[in-house]
Amino acid sequence: MKRIDLNCDMGELPQAIADGTQESLMPSFTSVNVACGGHAGDAQTMQTTIEQALRWKLAVGAHPSYPDRANFGRVELNLSPEAVADSGLPASSRSCGNCRAQRYISDPR
C-alpha cells in the first residue's frame, strides 16, 4: 500500500500551544516540522511541540530558518554567505541538533 506523509510546520505560535489548538490538530498529520527559532519558536516551544508530537506518535523533523521574526521569514534577506554563517541559522540548526541528541529527532544518516 502506498502512503502519503501529511506534514505540518508547528511550534510557530506560542498561543496555539497554550490554548490547545496546536495539539488538537496533531491527529490530522503523520509528521511535524518544528520551528527552530529563526522565524519563530524557541527552546520551550520546540520542547513542547516535540513532546506533543511524540504523544501522537508522529514523526518529527526540524524547521530551521533565517533570523527574520519581524516578517515571519517571508521576505528576501539578501544575505551573503558570510552573513548567513554569522546569523542565527547555525544556532537554530544546533538547537535542532540538541533535540536530536536527546533522541527527540532521529538522525537520517
Backbone angles phi, psi at 88, to 5 degrees: -75, -10
- The overall average pLDDT reported for the chain is 81
* Contact partners, residue 76, CB within 8 Å, separation at least 6: none
User: How far is the CA of 40 from the CAs of 58, 67, 109, in angstroms?
Assistant: 21, 9, 26
pLDDT in tens, 91-105: 566 566 656 655 655
CB proximity list for 61: less than 8 A, separation 6 or greater: 7, 31, 32, 33, 34, 105
Give me the residues of the chain with pLDDT under 70, please: 72, 87-109
pLDDT of residue 78: 83
